[in-house]
Amino acid sequence: MKLVENDVAVITGAASGIGRTTAKVFANHGASVVVADVDEEGGAKTVADITENGGEATFVRTDISDSDDAKRMIETAVSEYGGLDVLFNNAAIEGPVARLGEYDNDAFEQVIDVNLKGVWYGMKYGIEAMLADDGGSIISASSIGGEVAVPQYSGYGAAKAAVGQLTKYAALEYAEDGIRANAVAPGIVRTEMIERTVEEHPEMEAQFLETEPMPGLADPEEIANAVLFLGSDMSSRVTGVTLPVEGGYLAQ
Ligand SMILES: NC(=O)c1ccc[n+]([C@@H]2O[C@H](COP(=O)([O-])OP(=O)(O)OC[C@H]3O[C@@H](n4cnc5c(N)ncnc54)[C@H](O)[C@@H]3O)[C@@H](O)[C@H]2O)c1
Protein backbone atom coordinates (compact mmCIF):
# COMPACT_ATOMS: atom_id res chain seq x y z
CA MET A 1 0.00 0.00 0.00
CA LYS A 2 1.32 3.44 -0.92
CA LEU A 3 0.79 5.78 2.02
CA VAL A 4 1.38 9.22 0.47
CA GLU A 5 0.24 8.62 -3.12
CA ASN A 6 0.01 11.88 -5.12
CA ASP A 7 1.11 13.97 -2.14
CA VAL A 8 3.71 16.71 -2.40
CA ALA A 9 6.45 16.58 0.25
CA VAL A 10 9.18 19.11 1.01
CA ILE A 11 12.13 17.67 2.93
CA THR A 12 14.93 19.88 4.22
CA GLY A 13 18.41 18.47 4.71
CA ALA A 14 17.55 15.82 2.12
CA ALA A 15 21.07 15.64 0.66
CA SER A 16 22.24 13.29 3.40
CA GLY A 17 21.35 10.88 6.18
CA ILE A 18 17.81 10.79 7.55
CA GLY A 19 16.56 13.44 5.09
CA ARG A 20 17.81 11.58 2.02
CA THR A 21 16.39 8.28 3.23
CA THR A 22 13.04 9.89 4.07
CA ALA A 23 12.92 11.49 0.60
CA LYS A 24 13.37 8.03 -0.96
CA VAL A 25 10.77 6.42 1.33
CA PHE A 26 8.22 9.14 0.50
CA ALA A 27 8.93 8.79 -3.24
CA ASN A 28 8.51 5.01 -2.97
CA HIS A 29 5.14 5.65 -1.34
CA GLY A 30 3.97 7.80 -4.23
CA ALA A 31 4.87 11.37 -3.21
CA SER A 32 6.54 14.01 -5.37
CA VAL A 33 9.46 15.26 -3.30
CA VAL A 34 11.15 18.66 -3.13
CA VAL A 35 14.70 17.97 -1.96
CA ALA A 36 15.99 21.08 -0.14
CA ASP A 37 19.56 21.46 1.08
CA VAL A 38 22.65 23.68 1.01
CA ASP A 39 24.57 20.73 -0.45
CA GLU A 40 23.93 20.82 -4.21
CA GLU A 41 25.92 17.69 -5.04
CA GLY A 42 24.25 15.61 -2.34
CA GLY A 43 20.83 17.00 -3.30
CA ALA A 44 21.37 16.06 -6.94
CA LYS A 45 22.34 12.53 -5.85
CA THR A 46 19.11 12.17 -3.83
CA VAL A 47 17.06 13.33 -6.84
CA ALA A 48 18.95 10.91 -9.13
CA ASP A 49 18.37 8.01 -6.68
CA ILE A 50 14.64 8.76 -6.73
CA THR A 51 14.17 9.35 -10.45
CA GLU A 52 16.27 6.31 -11.42
CA ASN A 53 13.81 4.33 -9.33
CA GLY A 54 10.83 5.76 -11.24
CA GLY A 55 9.95 8.39 -8.60
CA GLU A 56 9.44 12.15 -8.86
CA ALA A 57 11.76 14.67 -7.20
CA THR A 58 13.30 18.08 -7.71
CA PHE A 59 16.17 19.84 -5.93
CA VAL A 60 16.09 23.40 -4.67
CA ARG A 61 19.22 24.88 -3.12
CA THR A 62 18.08 26.13 0.27
CA ASP A 63 19.86 27.59 3.25
CA ILE A 64 17.01 27.06 5.67
CA SER A 65 18.34 29.72 8.06
CA ASP A 66 17.57 32.29 5.35
CA SER A 67 13.92 33.35 5.17
CA ASP A 68 14.01 34.12 1.42
CA ASP A 69 15.45 30.67 0.70
CA ALA A 70 12.80 29.01 2.90
CA LYS A 71 10.06 30.90 1.07
CA ARG A 72 11.47 29.91 -2.32
CA MET A 73 11.64 26.27 -1.21
CA ILE A 74 7.91 26.23 -0.43
CA GLU A 75 7.11 28.15 -3.63
CA THR A 76 8.96 25.45 -5.58
CA ALA A 77 6.56 22.80 -4.25
CA VAL A 78 3.60 24.90 -5.37
CA SER A 79 5.00 25.84 -8.79
CA GLU A 80 6.42 22.39 -9.62
CA TYR A 81 3.77 20.13 -8.11
CA GLY A 82 0.72 22.31 -7.41
CA GLY A 83 0.71 22.49 -3.60
CA LEU A 84 2.12 21.18 -0.34
CA ASP A 85 0.89 18.22 1.72
CA VAL A 86 3.87 17.25 3.86
CA LEU A 87 6.78 19.26 5.20
CA PHE A 88 9.67 17.56 7.01
CA ASN A 89 11.83 20.15 8.78
CA ASN A 90 14.86 17.90 9.06
CA ALA A 91 17.94 20.03 8.30
CA ALA A 92 20.20 20.66 11.27
CA ILE A 93 23.82 20.95 12.30
CA GLU A 94 25.31 19.28 15.37
CA GLY A 95 27.42 22.25 16.53
CA PRO A 96 30.42 21.82 18.79
CA VAL A 97 30.81 19.17 21.48
CA ALA A 98 31.64 21.34 24.50
CA ARG A 99 30.43 22.14 27.99
CA LEU A 100 28.23 25.23 28.16
CA GLY A 101 30.99 27.51 29.48
CA GLU A 102 33.34 26.60 26.65
CA TYR A 103 30.69 26.63 23.88
CA ASP A 104 31.70 29.14 21.19
CA ASN A 105 29.41 32.19 20.87
CA ASP A 106 29.27 32.19 17.05
CA ALA A 107 28.67 28.44 16.97
CA PHE A 108 25.73 28.84 19.36
CA GLU A 109 24.15 31.44 17.09
CA GLN A 110 24.71 29.25 14.04
CA VAL A 111 23.07 26.25 15.71
CA ILE A 112 20.05 28.35 16.71
CA ASP A 113 19.85 29.87 13.20
CA VAL A 114 19.74 26.52 11.41
CA ASN A 115 18.12 24.19 13.95
CA LEU A 116 15.49 26.54 15.37
CA LYS A 117 15.00 29.51 13.05
CA GLY A 118 15.15 27.14 10.07
CA VAL A 119 12.27 25.10 11.49
CA TRP A 120 10.35 28.28 12.24
CA TYR A 121 10.75 29.56 8.65
CA GLY A 122 9.74 26.17 7.27
CA MET A 123 6.62 26.14 9.41
CA LYS A 124 5.74 29.74 8.67
CA TYR A 125 5.83 29.48 4.87
CA GLY A 126 4.73 25.84 4.86
CA ILE A 127 1.60 26.68 6.84
CA GLU A 128 0.79 29.48 4.39
CA ALA A 129 0.90 27.00 1.49
CA MET A 130 -1.05 24.33 3.40
CA LEU A 131 -3.80 26.80 4.31
CA ALA A 132 -4.23 27.47 0.59
CA ASP A 133 -4.39 23.72 -0.12
CA ASP A 134 -6.76 22.18 2.48
CA GLY A 135 -4.21 21.40 5.16
CA GLY A 136 -1.27 19.07 5.53
CA SER A 137 1.19 17.50 7.92
CA ILE A 138 4.34 19.08 9.32
CA ILE A 139 7.01 16.94 10.92
CA SER A 140 10.14 18.40 12.49
CA ALA A 141 13.31 16.64 13.60
CA SER A 142 13.92 16.97 17.30
CA SER A 143 16.28 14.68 19.26
CA ILE A 144 16.64 12.96 22.62
CA GLY A 145 18.78 16.04 23.37
CA GLY A 146 15.60 18.13 23.14
CA GLU A 147 13.84 15.97 25.74
CA VAL A 148 16.60 15.49 28.33
CA ALA A 149 20.08 16.99 28.72
CA VAL A 150 22.77 15.18 26.74
CA PRO A 151 26.01 16.64 28.16
CA GLN A 152 28.13 18.84 25.85
CA TYR A 153 25.24 19.54 23.43
CA SER A 154 23.60 22.58 25.09
CA GLY A 155 23.09 24.68 21.93
CA TYR A 156 21.80 21.74 19.92
CA GLY A 157 19.59 20.52 22.79
CA ALA A 158 18.13 23.97 23.47
CA ALA A 159 17.20 24.35 19.79
CA LYS A 160 15.66 20.87 19.70
CA ALA A 161 13.60 21.50 22.86
CA ALA A 162 12.28 24.66 21.21
CA VAL A 163 11.37 22.62 18.10
CA GLY A 164 9.11 20.49 20.33
CA GLN A 165 7.47 23.65 21.65
CA LEU A 166 7.01 25.20 18.17
CA THR A 167 5.39 21.91 17.19
CA LYS A 168 2.81 22.27 19.97
CA TYR A 169 2.06 25.86 18.97
CA ALA A 170 1.60 24.97 15.31
CA ALA A 171 -0.59 21.99 16.27
CA LEU A 172 -2.93 24.03 18.47
CA GLU A 173 -3.11 27.14 16.34
CA TYR A 174 -3.92 25.22 13.12
CA ALA A 175 -5.91 22.24 14.46
CA GLU A 176 -9.09 23.61 12.91
CA ASP A 177 -7.42 24.17 9.54
CA GLY A 178 -6.55 20.57 8.79
CA ILE A 179 -2.88 21.07 9.56
CA ARG A 180 -1.18 18.61 11.91
CA ALA A 181 2.26 19.26 13.42
CA ASN A 182 4.42 16.64 15.08
CA ALA A 183 8.09 15.97 15.72
CA VAL A 184 10.31 12.91 15.86
CA ALA A 185 13.05 12.52 18.47
CA PRO A 186 15.72 10.08 17.30
CA GLY A 187 18.44 8.76 19.58
CA ILE A 188 21.66 7.85 17.76
CA VAL A 189 21.27 7.20 14.05
CA ARG A 190 23.93 5.85 11.69
CA THR A 191 24.41 8.96 9.47
CA GLU A 192 27.12 11.35 8.34
CA MET A 193 26.36 13.54 11.39
CA ILE A 194 27.41 10.78 13.78
CA GLU A 195 30.36 9.77 11.56
CA ARG A 196 31.70 13.35 11.71
CA THR A 197 31.42 13.43 15.50
CA VAL A 198 33.17 10.08 15.91
CA GLU A 199 35.94 11.21 13.56
CA GLU A 200 36.59 14.30 15.71
CA HIS A 201 35.95 12.60 19.05
CA PRO A 202 36.79 8.88 18.69
CA GLU A 203 36.18 8.36 22.41
CA MET A 204 32.45 8.98 21.80
CA GLU A 205 31.92 5.93 19.61
CA ALA A 206 31.59 3.53 22.55
CA GLN A 207 29.29 6.00 24.32
CA PHE A 208 27.04 6.25 21.24
CA LEU A 209 26.87 2.47 20.91
CA GLU A 210 25.67 2.17 24.50
CA THR A 211 23.20 5.04 24.48
CA GLU A 212 20.03 3.25 23.40
CA PRO A 213 18.73 0.33 25.49
CA MET A 214 18.08 -1.53 22.22
CA PRO A 215 21.41 -2.77 20.83
CA GLY A 216 23.42 -0.83 18.24
CA LEU A 217 22.51 2.37 16.41
CA ALA A 218 19.30 3.15 14.55
CA ASP A 219 19.22 2.96 10.75
CA PRO A 220 17.93 6.09 8.96
CA GLU A 221 15.03 3.96 7.61
CA GLU A 222 13.71 3.52 11.13
CA ILE A 223 13.34 7.29 11.50
CA ALA A 224 12.02 7.70 7.94
CA ASN A 225 9.25 5.18 8.63
CA ALA A 226 8.13 7.15 11.69
CA VAL A 227 8.08 10.31 9.57
CA LEU A 228 6.05 8.46 6.93
CA PHE A 229 3.51 7.47 9.60
CA LEU A 230 3.23 11.08 10.81
CA GLY A 231 3.06 12.42 7.26
CA SER A 232 0.33 10.05 6.12
CA ASP A 233 -3.33 9.60 7.01
CA MET A 234 -2.27 6.66 9.21
CA SER A 235 -1.76 9.29 11.93
CA SER A 236 -4.86 11.38 11.10
CA ARG A 237 -5.68 12.07 14.78
CA VAL A 238 -2.10 12.63 15.98
CA THR A 239 -0.96 16.22 16.45
CA GLY A 240 1.28 18.18 18.80
CA VAL A 241 3.43 15.23 19.86
CA THR A 242 7.13 14.49 19.74
CA LEU A 243 7.47 10.81 18.89
CA PRO A 244 10.60 9.23 20.36
CA VAL A 245 12.38 6.83 17.97
CA GLU A 246 15.29 5.96 20.24
CA GLY A 247 15.25 2.30 21.22
CA GLY A 248 13.76 3.04 24.64
CA TYR A 249 16.27 5.70 25.79
CA LEU A 250 13.64 8.05 27.20
CA ALA A 251 11.86 5.27 29.09
CA GLN A 252 14.73 5.14 31.59
N1 LIG B 1 22.03 11.18 13.39
C2 LIG B 1 21.56 11.20 14.61
O3 LIG B 1 22.01 10.43 15.47
C4 LIG B 1 20.45 12.13 15.02
C5 LIG B 1 19.92 12.00 16.32
C6 LIG B 1 18.90 12.83 16.72
C7 LIG B 1 18.40 13.78 15.85
N8 LIG B 1 18.92 13.88 14.60
C9 LIG B 1 18.37 14.92 13.73
O10 LIG B 1 17.97 14.36 12.49
C11 LIG B 1 18.12 15.33 11.47
C12 LIG B 1 18.96 14.78 10.33
O13 LIG B 1 20.24 14.42 10.84
P14 LIG B 1 21.29 13.52 10.03
O15 LIG B 1 21.92 12.65 11.05
O16 LIG B 1 20.65 12.95 8.85
O17 LIG B 1 22.35 14.64 9.63
P18 LIG B 1 23.26 14.82 8.32
O19 LIG B 1 24.37 15.72 8.75
O20 LIG B 1 23.58 13.50 7.73
O21 LIG B 1 22.29 15.59 7.33
C22 LIG B 1 21.89 16.93 7.58
C23 LIG B 1 21.62 17.61 6.26
O24 LIG B 1 21.21 18.96 6.55
C25 LIG B 1 21.85 19.82 5.62
N26 LIG B 1 21.96 21.17 6.16
C27 LIG B 1 22.81 21.63 7.09
N28 LIG B 1 22.63 22.96 7.28
C29 LIG B 1 21.64 23.33 6.42
C30 LIG B 1 21.02 24.58 6.12
N31 LIG B 1 21.39 25.71 6.73
N32 LIG B 1 20.04 24.60 5.20
C33 LIG B 1 19.68 23.47 4.55
N34 LIG B 1 20.24 22.26 4.77
C35 LIG B 1 21.22 22.21 5.70
C36 LIG B 1 23.21 19.18 5.38
O37 LIG B 1 23.80 19.64 4.18
C38 LIG B 1 22.84 17.71 5.35
O39 LIG B 1 22.51 17.30 4.04
C40 LIG B 1 18.73 16.56 12.14
O41 LIG B 1 17.71 17.43 12.50
C42 LIG B 1 19.38 15.99 13.37
O43 LIG B 1 19.52 16.95 14.39
C44 LIG B 1 19.94 13.09 14.17
Of all protein residues, the one whose alpha carbon is nearest to atom 25 of ligand 1 is: 13
Q: Report pLDDT digits (tens) over 84-138.
A: 999 999 999 999 999 999 999 999 999 999 999 999 999 999 999 999 989 999 9
Point out the ligand 1 atom lying closest to the alpha carbon of residue 144. 6
Task: Choose the residue to mutate in 11, 20, 25, 38 for probing ligand 1, maximizing ligand atoms within 8 Å of C-beta.
Answer: 38
Contacts of 78 (CB under 8 A, 6+ apart): 84, 129
Instruction: Give 151-184 pLDDT, tens digit per residue.
Output: 999 999 999 999 999 999 999 999 999 999 999 9
Chain segment 173-230, per-residue pLDDT in tens: 999 999 999 999 999 999 999 999 999 999 999 999 999 999 999 999 999 999 999 9
Give SS3 for 236. Answer: coil
What's residue 146's pLDDT? 98
Structural domains in the chain? 8-188+219-245 (3.40.50.720)
- pLDDT one-digit tens code per residue, 26-41: 999 999 999 999 999 9
Q: Which amino acid type is present at position 141?
A: A
DSSP-assigned states of every residue in 172-198: HHTGGGTEEEEEEEE--BSSHHHHHHH
50-64 pLDDT, tens digit each: 999 999 999 999 999
The pTM of the full predicted model, rounded to 2 decimals, is 0.99
Per DSSP, the three-state class of 35 is strand
Report the DSSP beta bridge partners of residue 182.
Answer: 139
Per the prediction, the chain carries an average pLDDT of 98
Q: Name the residue of 94, 97, 112, 189 to mutate for ligand 1: max ligand atoms within 8 A of Cβ.
A: 189
For residue 114, the model assigns a pLDDT of 99
User: Cα separation of 232 and 136, whole Å?
Assistant: 9
Q: Are strands 8-12 and 86-89 parallel, antiparallel or unpaired?
A: parallel
Contacts of 12 (CB under 8 A, 6+ apart): 19, 36, 37, 62, 64, 73, 88, 89, 90, 91, 118, 122
Q: Which residue, by CA, sits nearest to atom 24 of ligand 1?
A: 13
CA distance 208 to 11: 26
> Is any ligand 1 atom within 6 A of the Cβ of residue 119?
no
Residue 245: pLDDT band by 50, 70, 90 thresholds?
Answer: very high
